[in-house]
Structure 1
Amino acid sequence: MNPLALPFDTDEMLAGLKPWIECESPTHDAAAVDRMMDMAAFALAEGATVERIPGRMGFGGSVRARFPHPDMGKKPGILIVGHMDTVHPIGTLDVLPFKREGDICYGPGIMDMKGGNYVSVEAIRQLIRAGLQTPLPVTVLFTPDEEVGTPSTRSLIEAEAARNKYVLVPEPADQDGGAVIGRYAIARFDLRTVGQPSHAGARLADGKSAIAAMARKIIEIEDMTGPDCTFSVGVIHAGQWVNCVSSTCDAEALTMAKTQEDLDRGVARMMALQGVANGVEFQVTRGVTRPVWEPNQSGTMAIFDVARSIAKEIGFDMKGRSQGGGSDGNFTGYMGIPTLDSLGVRGNGLHTLTEHIEVSSLVERAQLMAGLLMRLD
């Protein structure tokens, strides 16, 4: 049976996806992420041996599912890896409810990346129901912390990937349905300014404001952005009382580069900003890093060729590109394991209050995933 002829049903997939979207799972709420993992584990239980892996470092746990196969544990197979955490805090459903309007369906995390995860599970379930055996063993791994750089599960992903021949990542597709065959490098930094407190009303001149110093540093940091390396600050925490000159201010910064050499230079520039000026100390601590996944690796291009031929049968021309916006594919691609990313649903507005998918892409992407699982060997 041609896997592209499997009876994927748009309305049934939307109905199954809805409770996933309505189970809000922001990264820093471990209990919420675990509730989402429970739902994923239940869906995967149709035909798979499901394992719950406890979380660490304050994050939720992971789910690993292995599907029955005569070669499971004997030969490398296919790993599907996705994350169940989102950037949207609890309560986002109040302003971004699950809602369909024609070919558009809205909801927090529906594009990044619960839609792609659900489609992947549905593809496997339809293969099982049809009695089809994939040439290679299939493992699914869902993790809880990708949106903050995968600090607690990178080693788990890398260990699982090392046991497999191919890695498929159902992150959001490009709007033209294209796939990602390489990703830029990303480094995160924790920033802190340490000033001198004083009473802001009575003795303002005695203080050294950590907030004011951080504001100046943010402008300096973002002004370092160029064509080869970008710099941005996205998180700031400081102050408790408006009548106190702030003694500390904390922030988080991110830099992205197309090559490892550019990233290394960017990291060096960030670290060189440390020091004391006008009585305020500026501290920079390097955080998690996503390495460059170089495009055009032969193994990855071989998977892409298979995907492109499947896409042609479905009815669209698949393009492959290297791009920014890190994913866990950075790690597996960097390891040299053939990896194909952005196999998830089409849509727009990820990480915003307009996040949505194109409903018509659900069947398309399910067919693509089922085809890859049946044709990769």
Structure 2
Amino acid sequence: MTNPLALPFDADEMLAGLTPWIETESPTFDTAAVNRMMDVVQHDLAALGARVERIPGRMGLGDSVRATMPHARAGEGGILLLGHLDTVHPVGTLAKLPYRREGDICYGPGLMDMKGGNYVYLDALRKLLAAGVQTPLPVTVLFTPDEEIGTPSTRELIETEAKRHKFILVPEPARPDGGAVIGRYAIARFDLQTRGKPSHAGWALSDGRSAIAEMAKSVARIESMTTDDCTFSVGVFNAGQWVNCVSSVCNAEVLSMAKTQALLDEGVAKMMALNSNEGEVVMEVRRGVTRPVWEPDQPGTMAMLSLAQEIAGEIGFGLTGSSAGGGSDGNFTGFLGLPTLDSIGVRGKGLHTLTEHIFVDSLVERAKLAAALYCRLGA
């Protein structure tokens, strides 16, 4: 059998293949843009000989793509490659963050989170197929459109598919030290609205009651609840159309992260306690989507980590494993107790910013890791 670590991986080739992936911008809320990205990936998977299904989106969000890779037992449960193709970058970000290489670094919107990792793990399958290597277990690929907003439309799809498989690989970007994730903290989202009383801001200011002012007070109160183990962040704040009007409605969104379910429950209780219809400005707090705690040290996941560390040693790098904040779809599969190895994608920095980039040498490194995992899981 061909040694998967000896396959002809080439960073320049991978960067060229990634060009249409990165230059097809795909922010979550732009359904047409996400579906254009799904078109690109559907084509690449079909070119590998996969049986590709396009799963229509719902809730106004994009489609998903599921691919059954060529295998003697294709369609059976085995290894699930799970990733998302939506990004946080609006269409037009390429003008500020063009896809480009500068020495050992390559920049681009969504390159680190997580198109780079998705592509690398597909390239590993491409090289294995070209070499005529059949993996011990069949591989299924599932790419989804809404991870960046908490996976409201595809959680059920992910969980149903994942339950069919023995191992789940999630090529989210590696941790800052290059390590993998073997557990994740809980995440909860909240939708907030304050409702006041409108008036003319110049002519009758005292007649109004500002929803913006009340929400602004709440921002400070909410973020002051943050501790090392349970954080609160106001990430969206929308209100007002006319500067000469006292705004009667203000909307905001809050993200909370907690290291344990008990801490998250406490955080949720604190947030829900902000509901108030007393006084002249009403505050309404509604629960949004939640990612459950993925408890670390589950035997199946730890066995996967041990294998990955053995492979990494053969390649020539160290691979740590730890719990992490920042939700992923691995929360769902790990919460279900399914063996899941997360954040095994490319190394880089600046995800979700206009400096998002990867380290080019991580492409071949992670492709070798992927190929060996495909060949040794279930062997």
Give the TM-score range, shorter chain: over 0.9
Aligned to 1:306: 307
Structure 2: 5+ residue stretches without partners: none
The separation in 1 between residues aligned to 2:68 and 2:178, in whole angstroms, is: 28
TM-aligned CA deviation for residue 73 of structure 1: 3.7
The separation in 1 between residues aligned to 2:135 and 2:349, in whole angstroms, is: 32
Aligned to 1:128: 129
Residue pair 1:79, 1:167 contacting (<8 A) in 2 also: yes
- TM-score (norm. length: structure 1): 0.99
* CA shift digits 1:8-63 (9 cap, x unpaired): 01111000011111110000000000000111111111121011111110101000
3-state SS of the aligned residue for 2:44?
helix
Aligned to 1:13: 14
Give the % identical residues. 70
Aligned to 1:50: 52
TM-aligned CA deviation for residue 90 of structure 1: 0.6
TM-aligned CA deviation for residue 71 of structure 1: 2.5
Aligned to 1:64: 66
Aligned to 1:3: 4
3-state SS of the aligned residue for 1:159?
helix
3-state SS of the aligned residue for 1:40?
helix
Residue pair 2:308, 2:369 contacting (<8 A) in 1 also: yes
- TM-score (norm. length: structure 2): 0.98
Aligned to 1:139: 140
The separation in 2 between residues aligned to 1:285 and 1:135, in whole angstroms, is: 47
Residue pair 1:47, 1:128 contacting (<8 A) in 2 also: no
**Residues 1:336 and 2:323 are matched in the alignment:** no
* CA shift digits 1:123-167 (9 cap, x unpaired): 101000000001001000000000000000000000000100110
Q: CA RMSD in A?
A: 0.8
The separation in 2 between residues aligned to 1:347 and 1:328, in whole angstroms, is: 20
Aligned to 2:199: 198
TM-aligned CA deviation for residue 277 of structure 1: 4.6
Residue pair 1:43, 1:121 contacting (<8 A) in 2 also: no
* CA shift digits 1:238-267 (9 cap, x unpaired): 101000000100010010000000000000
The separation in 1 between residues aligned to 2:88 and 2:64, in whole angstroms, is: 17
The separation in 1 between residues aligned to 2:175 and 2:251, in whole angstroms, is: 34
Aligned to 1:281: 282
Residue pair 2:110, 2:351 contacting (<8 A) in 1 also: yes
Residue pair 2:68, 2:75 contacting (<8 A) in 1 also: no
Alignment of 1:1-377 (within 5 A): 1-45=2-46, 46-74=48-76, 76-377=77-378
Q: What amino acid maps onto 2:31 in structure 1?
A: A
TM-aligned CA deviation for residue 69 of structure 1: 2.0
The separation in 1 between residues aligned to 2:38 and 2:75, in whole angstroms, is: 24
The separation in 1 between residues aligned to 2:136 and 2:198, in whole angstroms, is: 66
Q: What amino acid maps onto 1:190 in structure 2?
A: D
| Number of residue pairs matched by the alignment | 376
TM-aligned CA deviation for residue 285 of structure 1: 0.3
Structure 1: 5+ residue stretches without partners: none
TM-aligned CA deviation for residue 175 of structure 1: 3.1
With 64-73 and 4-13 compared, the bigger mean Cα shift is at: 64-73
TM-aligned CA deviation for residue 2 of structure 1: 0.7
